[in-house]
Amino acid sequence: FGWFEGIAFLCGYYICNISVGIGLHRLWAHDSYKANKLLEFVLILLSAGTLQGPALAWASDHYNHHTYTDTERDPHSPQKYKSRFLGFMWSHVGWMLFGEPSYKHLNRFAVTKLGKNKLLLWQMKYYWVLAVLMNTLVPTLIGFIIGGNLVSAYGAFLFIGLGRALQQQATFCVNSVCHFLGARNYYLGTAGDIWWMAVFLLGENWHNFHHAFPSDYRNGSKWYHADVHKWIIYGL
């Protein structure tokens, strides 16, 4: 383990984080900004690599989460069980393992709003092909191009994959940790703002503000709020 593997891990983590934040979340689920087709195509590929499902299904789940927050129709409500532990585990990962797959019952509003986007339809049709390629061939090629040998190719494949896997858990923490902890200055539901999670979530941690103003491209509304995703969108 050396600098190469460390950088590969961080790139795997933060590239996935950014593609979820500015792609799956703020672009497609909330339509909080407009993107040209080149950027959208890049985000289509990168978001498939996060292994969080097709963008249409992701947005559908997220529409339901915001429309029915903390009710039985919220797909990952922490209030599903009286036990706080079971509620936490359900909102973190249980709803994906034991709930009804969202792609079988897409939210009608999501389909109406996004169903004409040919890039999203293309991604959904070939999702598993893209997801596998983005997690195998692409990191392996990157490692080989940089290091010029099979060891570096395997190192990139392994450590970019580890970064992606850890980032999945960080995304799941928005559903779980950010609905158990944090300040509630804008919205009276379970969503909370947790400033210290900014280093892991790059802005998705300002979850209470986001539930109050879901169409805002910012989650961290103040200039001093660490929200890398809003700065990337603003820069674009």
Span 142-183, pLDDT tens digits = 999 999 999 999 999 999 999 999 999 999 999 999 999 999
Q: What does the pLDDT read at residue 25?
A: 97
Q: Is the pLDDT of residue 72 over 90?
A: no
Calculate the average pLDDT of the chain: 94
Q: What does the pLDDT read at residue 167?
A: 97
Cβ count within 10 A of residue 188: 9
Q: Is the pLDDT of residue 229 over 90?
A: yes
Q: pTM for the full model?
A: 0.93
How far is the C-alpha of 152 from the C-alpha of 143, rounded, in Å? 5
Q: What does the pLDDT read at residue 111?
A: 85
Q: Which of 111-120, 161-170, 197-206 has the lowest mean pLDDT?
A: 111-120
The 8 Å CB, 24+ separation contacts for 121-124 are 121/56, 122/44, 123/44, 123/47, 123/48, 123/54, 123/55, 123/56, 124/54, 124/55, 124/56, 124/57
